[in-house]
Chains A and B, each alone.
Chain A
Amino acid sequence: MSLLSIDHLYYWVIVILLMLGMYSMIAKPNLLKKLAGLSIFQSAIFLFYISLGKQTGGTAPIIAPGYDTYANPLPHVLMLTAIVVGVATVALGYALIIRIRDAYDSMEEDQIREQDDQA
């Protein structure tokens, strides 16, 4: 079965990380854990892109005698941008959590909902 071959191992790692991240975003009531899940989810996407550019035996794309396979640098460069976006997202998320904790004195989604329903 080609899907289970060792060539696809990194895809499986990526899929498992994606699922872990999404599970924690959906199922955990704690806001910090939700954000950690989001971070894992995004990191899995970075890994996915990086694996796209990988060539077996490839080197950095600099023309030099003796080397003729190069890794594709474009997906790697794209991920630099995506990492910056990811950092900004998580930072904004933490900033919001700090303000939520100030306003509700809690970081648990169910407790926050309770307070909103009572109001």
Chain B
Amino acid sequence: MIENHMTIMLVVLPMLAAPLIALLPSKNLSWGLAILTATLQLYLAVNVLLDVQGGTAIHYELGGWAPPWGISYRLDSLNGLMALLVCLINFVCLLYAKASIEAEIPGRKLGLFYATWQLVVTGLLGIVLTGDIFNLFVFLEISSLSTYALIGMGRQRQALMAAFQYLLSGTLGASFFLIGVGLCYAATGTLNMQDLASQIGQSDQPMTLYSGFAFLFTGLLLKAAIYPLHAWLPNVYQFSPQAVSALLSATSTKVALYVVVRCLLDVFGVEFSLSRLFADLLLLAGSLAILFGSLRAIQQTDLKRLLAYSSIAQLGYSVVGLGLLTVTGLSGALVHLFNHGITKAALFMGAGMLALGPGTTLLTRLAGGTHRPWLLLLFLTGGLSLIGFPGTVGFISKWMLALAAIEQGHWWLLVVILLGSLLAILYVWKFIETLYFVPQNPPETSTGPVPGRGMWLACGLLCLAIVYFGLDTRFTLGVAMDAARQLLGVHP
């Protein structure tokens, strides 16, 4: 009985937990319920992903109403992988959040903080699992609205402006998405993604569909912060509370990019949407993102801002993989979403631990952090993964993308990918050098709060994951290849 409802439980659990968490009297109880929910979700996510391995899909009809009238959830390799990423990051970030957030947010607000956090997770998982495109919009707004609230809790006052700017551009993006959905509905009369996919081929109103397509993707690319629509991202990542930066960097843009992949390849289909022109545009935008993001990252003087620009660059790799339109390229892009997610979360957690004492992530203020030698290991693992060093997850995805570029004979793309890695060496070296090899002017007597055990555990888990999934790629890459084959309609 309960097995049949595992898919929906992923979304319902945090939604039910949110109000309970807000009502619980103590911050420890709130956190306890949050981590309990996260553990259950992680268990469910692993289970459903194992169920869909090898190309099957789980269908779930909400309330027993058959699509296209009711809302249906559909889980296959693609969103199984994304659901696992969200659940994994949610679990690890909550482990980390306890000590980290208590240093940043007054105690009476903690219950509300964890409740809002659960709503973000509800929204993200809803986006990932739903098979109804309007339902997707609603979940997009649930996760975005709660995200704005979380960002606004940052310690510095710039966090408020960052949240407000994100609210404006995020809502603009979601509204564009909504216009696109409306135009598609006008042309086809359905909102169910699979039904939409079959109707689009037969529609006699191609102009309406083309404009719907344009609105839909402008909105989505804005939410996913794809260059040149990335302007909201650096401030948001820099000024959010530490644990929130880690959660957002690993999930929100990745989930938006998942929707891009789903809509492009599943809903609109390769023939309709990816005329060579649009695919070339994606290649161009991705390459520019890689170069621009990396160059800007090198210039930054704040650790979290540097990591934010590096995120823009790394998202570019996934866009490039999508634009290549081959199984190798697409599976590289998908596995990169997962791999970069865990890498960036680990690095933002490291930044947060350094910031505990001085309360800032300005590189000059953090210089000479030698009193925390274990953190060097974290920054090295994460940094090497950003560069794409063999033995880390970053290598796997970049290797796949490079292979795909060679397969297609896009030599200039290979140059861009390698150049991106070279630039990554520069910015990774920049922060490792400042943090560990520049002597600090007034030697700091570390008086600030000490990182809690949960924080170390979370960082350790992510570092292990970075190395483990970098050596044993059967699981992640296997699922990504399954998903890529399904999306492109290639049979093994």
Q: Bound complex: CA of A35 vs CA of B168, how far in Å?
A: 8
Q: Are B149 and A25 in contact (CB under 8 A)?
A: no
Q: Are B138 and A93 in contact (CB under 8 A)?
A: no
Determine, out of B83-91, B99-107, B171-179, the stretch whose residues face the partner at the interface.
Answer: B171-179
Which listed residue, B137, B152, B175, touches A42 by the CB 8 Å rule? B175
Given A41-B175, A52-B186, A92-B148, A103 contacting B168 (CB threshold 8 A): no
Residue A20 interfacial (CB < 8 Å): no
Closest to A112 in B: B161
Point out the residues of chain A lying under 8 angstroms from B152, CB to CB. 96, 99
Closest to A49 in B: B182
Given A38-B168, A99-B160, A81 contacting B179 (CB threshold 8 A): no
Which listed residue, A31, A41, A92, touches B172 by the CB 8 Å rule? A41
Residue B145 interfacial (CB < 8 Å): yes
Chain A residues within 8 Å of chain B by Cβ, number = 29
A40 to chain B, nearest CB (A): 11
Please classify the interface of chain A as helix (H, G, I), strand (E, B), loop, or mixed, using the class held by over half of its residues. helix
Which listed residue, B137, B168, B182, touches A75 by the CB 8 Å rule? B182
**Which residues between 54 and 96 of chain A lie within 8 Å of chain B, taking CB atoms?**
75, 78, 81-82, 85, 88-89, 92-93, 96
Q: Are B185 and A89 in contact (CB under 8 A)?
A: no
Interface size class of B (residues with CB under 8 A): 20 to 34
Given A42-B175, A52-B186, A89 contacting B145 (CB threshold 8 A): yes
Q: Are A92 and B182 in contact (CB under 8 A)?
A: no
Q: Bound complex: CA of A44 vs CA of B168, how far in Å?
A: 16
Point out the residues of chain A lying under 8 angstroms from B145, CB to CB. 85, 88-89, 92
Q: Are B164 and A38 in contact (CB under 8 A)?
A: no
Q: Are A89 and B164 in contact (CB under 8 A)?
A: no
Q: Are A100 and B160 in contact (CB under 8 A)?
A: yes
Most buried by B among A31, A78, A96, A104: A96
A79 to chain B, nearest CB (A): 10
Q: Are B164 and A96 in contact (CB under 8 A)?
A: yes
Point out the residues of chain A lying under 8 angstroms from B134, CB to CB. 78, 81
Q: Are A89 and B161 in contact (CB under 8 A)?
A: no
Q: Bound complex: CA of A93 vs CA of B134, how far in Å?
A: 23
Given A45-B178, A96-B160, A25 contacting B172 (CB threshold 8 A): yes
Q: Are B157 and A103 in contact (CB under 8 A)?
A: yes
Q: Bound complex: CA of A81 vs CA of B185, how far in Å?
A: 16
Q: Are B168 and A116 in contact (CB under 8 A)?
A: no
Given A52-B182, A75-B182, A96-B152, A89 contacting B157 (CB threshold 8 A): no
Point out the residues of chain B lying under 8 angstroms from A81, CB to CB. 134, 138
Point out the residues of chain A lying under 8 angstroms from B160, CB to CB. 96, 99-100, 103
Residue B163 interfacial (CB < 8 Å): yes
Point out the residues of chain A lying under 8 angstroms from B161, CB to CB. 100, 112, 116
